[in-house]
Amino acid sequence: MSTKIVELNTFASGALAERFNEELIKILQNIADPNTDPGKVRTLTVKVKFSADDERNLANALIEASSKLVSAREVPAKVLIDYDKNGQLTGAELKSGVPGQTYLEEDGVYNDTGDKIYDFKSKKEIAKGE
């Protein structure tokens, strides 16, 4: 049978348990985040560092708790690379899925970069820059 030296719930006026719980909440929030991979491992680390005085009859303890979380999943996007009329390099997100392809939404027709080119409500083509 082992001898209990300290009570972990009350050690350092409860700071050890409090720090553990703070990091545990961060891990649980990270697991609940739909943007993270639920199968990846999160880590909670508690360190208690001790240093003694010269007489070796008193030790100072420092409590540290940390967690290693999972980053949000990467979000893919495609960027069309082109040049404007002045020869300057430009980029725009490809919205249609295929360069040069238009697509429909409830309110109109859009070009491949998501600019509305035809409005169903007014039944007219939209000039570039409107």
Euclidean distance between CA atoms 95 and 78, whole angstroms: 8
Euclidean distance between CA atoms 45 and 28, whole angstroms: 15
Mean pLDDT calculated for residue range 112-118? 90
Q: Band the pLDDT of 17: cuts 50, 70, 90.
A: very high
What pTM, to 2 d.p., does this model score? 0.66
Task: Quote helix, strand, coil % in the chain, to nearest 5.
Answer: 15, 30, 55
Euclidean distance between CA atoms 95 and 101, whole angstroms: 9
Residue 129: the pLDDT is: 59
Mean pLDDT calculated for residue range 84-89? 92
